[in-house]
Amino acid sequence: MVQRVTSTTISNTLLTDLQRAARRMADSQGRISSGKAIQRPSDGPAATLRALDTRAELRRQAQYERNATDAEGWLNMADATLMTSVERLTRARDLLVGAVNGAADQRSRDASAAEVESIRSELIDMANTSYLGRPLFAGSASTPTAYTDAGEYQGDGAPITRAIGPGSEVQVNVSGETVFGVRDPGDPANGDLFQVLEQAVADLRAGDVAAAGQGLERIDAAMDRIGVSQATLGTRARQLEAQASRNSSTTIDLKAGLSEVEDIDYAQAIIEVKTEEMAYQAALSVTAKVIQPTLIDFLR
């Protein structure tokens, strides 16, 4: 049996086709306007999933970069502190050398002792240097300073690490005992740096030149220990630099991949817009001819 096609059916079909053409034209214009090939997930489910995965990876890379920046701050601050510590310790050593010289009298030894004592206080302050509110040399201990005013260690040897890449971590701290030595209440002369300096001050004031002279070897050992810590920090800084370079390359590749998925080819997009506009105009023309009264009524 032949099915009758009414004018209403024809009109509805034409209007549906016109609406589809309008949507396609609007979509192509939207892509030009936004520069993005995907306006909604339904435009390309596979591409949408790939874009989501890439964006998630970019967020991880951004976190690695933030961690690396934080790690760099820790390492730079620690290195600068140790450099200054070596400078002040060198001055203390020079004072001690002059004070144990046979030509020095007790008055000059007392003056040297006073300056060495001041340097000891400066070094304790340096050992209490903090970064973003956390003492550099206290490990993971919850304490406002690594050392007391008397030079007693309050921290621990726990490492502080930062994730700077996939499967890559860097330790950003060195403990106070690693840098400045371990305190020995029973043998201050062979204890940590602050005890060594304290003993040297006492020996100078007592006029015990021989004992004060022995402090030179202990100061040299302390400087060597600080030098080892500086080398350790340098190694970590190079590790950080190498990983940062890899992270940068990864980020560039991810952004390029995301652009390939999301961004439009403008030349192709312009052709598509023109094609959709022509299709819409053609559909509009056909619809207007077939259902003229409806269009006239609409325009009125």
CATH number at residue 90: 1.20.1330.10
Same domain? For 133 and 278 the reply is: no
**Is residue 48 assigned to a domain?**
no
Q: Which domain holds residue 276?
A: 267-300
- On whether both 147 and 101 belong to a single domain, the answer is yes
Residue 199 falls within a domain, yes or no? yes
Residues 69 and 167 in one domain: yes
158 and 298 in a single domain? The answer is no
Instruction: Kindly give the interhelix angle for 106-127 and 45-99, rounded to the nearest 10 degrees.
Output: 170
Asked whether residue 23 is assigned to any structural domain, the reply reads no
For residues 152 and 298, state if they share a domain: no
Q: Is the pLDDT of residue 15 over 80?
A: no
Residues 226 and 283 in one domain: no
Residue 179 within any structural domain of the chain: yes
In this structure, are 232 and 274 located in the same domain? no
Of the pLDDT bands very low, low, confident and very high (cuts 50, 70, 90), residue 34 is low
Could you tell me the pLDDT band of residue 266, with boundaries at 50, 70 and 90? low
Does residue 242 share a domain with residue 93? yes
Using alpha carbons, select from 294, 266, 300, 270 the residue that is nearest to residue 18. 294
Residue 14 lies in a domain: no
With respect to residue 20, please indicate whether it lies within any of the assigned structural domains.
no
Residue 15 lies in a domain: no
Query: 44-48, 83-87, 100-104, 107-111 — which is least confidently predicted?
Result: 44-48
Residue 44 lies in a domain: no
Same structural domain, 102 and 158? yes
2 — pLDDT class (breaks 50, 70, 90): very low
Kindly state whether residues 162 and 290 are assigned to the same domain: no
How many domains does the chain contain in total?
2
This prediction has a pTM of 0.75
DSSP assignments along the chain, one per residue: -PPP--HHHHHHHHHHHHHHHHHHHHHHHHHHHH-BS-SSGGG-HHHHHHHHHHHHHHHHHHHHHHHHHHHHHHHHHHHHHHHHHHHHHHHHHHHHHHHTSTT--HHHHHHHHHHHHHHHHHHHHHHT-EETTEETTSTT---S-SB-TT--B-------EEEEETTEEEE----HHHHH----TT-GGGS-HHHHHHHHHHHHHHT-HHHHHHHHHHHHHHHHHHHHHHHHHHHHHHHHHHHHHHHHHHHHHHHHHHHHHHB--HHHHHHHHHHHHHHHHHHHHHHHHHTHHHHHHHH-
Q: Which of 5-14, 56-65, 72-81 is least confident?
A: 5-14
Domain co-membership, 209 together with 90: yes
Are both 241 and 274 inside the same structural domain?
no
Give me the pLDDT at residue 299, please. 46
Of residues 287 and 205, the one with the higher pLDDT is: 205
